Structure 1
């Protein structure tokens, strides 16, 4: 496939989602180490693995479009994880506080997916993958909100 502006735009959108998933995976792993509840730790681990799977799917699509996938997340994601570290050093980590960070991250992911979804209108395979991932992220957001209500 030759490089066209449409192809480059498609790849750029995929790259942004890829990096968002790298950030989410790293965030879930970080929060998992601070969680106290074993069921919450297990859920966070599942979410990290899920985001790794999403990244692998997006990586494959980027390569299919003759581009090199980004290898890491974003500076914004690094800053957010740094903020979690600073915040946790100043306060006692509670599962409720950690879930609040998960909710913030999932809301940002939903927005990113919704913003990017229209960029895949010309490629039904990618649009289907991204829509499926968006549905899963929304489900995770709803689940963590329910968990917060139960624990909080």
Structure 2
């Protein structure tokens, strides 16, 4: 494998790790939800599926470059390790806590992808595009999680006032 291919594979594998941890984080979030919270359960499953698709896209690129897709978590990744922390952050079983932890994880994913964009400045355009497109998609997910968290906060305040 050429030197640049090794560097590309390393960056893509770090993003695969982030997505693996994101999947595990959303699975943990589902476990911590109340039985009746179907809306959040569905959202968390959708976001987990989103990461599964991104992980597969990245793995395909790694294989095409002659590398092996990462099978481990971010503990050995260089970009960012926060999703592992998210899995241990859940302080309560309420939706607001789950959403706050997921937002923290989404922030971590944004940081990882921002660093990957910096690291990929000399990569082929198709690789840069994949990283940018996935970061944009994750930004939408981050905003969705943040908005849901704000909704749950507002609902909790209204409930306290009554």
TM-score, scaled to structure 2: 0.83
Aligned to 2:145: 144
Q: Deviations over 1:44-67 (max 9, x none)?
A: 000000000010000000000001
Partner Cα distance (1:73, 1:55) in 2: 12
TM-score, scaled to structure 1: 0.88
* Of 70-79 and 40-49, the range deviating more from structure 2: 70-79
Matches within 5 A, 1:128-143: 128-143=129-144
Which residues of structure 2 form unaligned runs of 5+? 76-80, 154-162
Partner Cα distance (2:68, 2:114) in 1: 24
Partner Cα distance (1:26, 1:93) in 2: 17
Task: Using the TM superposition, give the Cα deviation of residue 73 of structure 1 relative to its aligned residue in structure 2, in angstroms.
Answer: 1.6
Output the aligned Cα RMSD: 1.4
Partner Cα distance (2:98, 2:113) in 1: 23
Task: Using the TM superposition, give the Cα deviation of residue 7 of structure 1 relative to its aligned residue in structure 2, in angstroms.
Answer: 1.3
Where 2:66 maps in the other structure, the secondary structure is coil
Aligned to 2:101: 101
Matches within 5 A, 1:33-112: 33-36=31-34, 37-75=37-75, 76=81, 77-81=83-87, 83-84=88-89, 87-88=90-91, 92-112=92-112
Where 2:73 maps in the other structure, the secondary structure is coil
Aligned length: 144
- Matched-pair contact (CA < 8 Å) for 2:33–2:41: yes
Partner Cα distance (1:94, 1:61) in 2: 39
Task: Using the TM superposition, give the Cα deviation of residue 9 of structure 1 relative to its aligned residue in structure 2, in angstroms.
Answer: 0.9
Which residues of structure 1 form unaligned runs of 5+? none
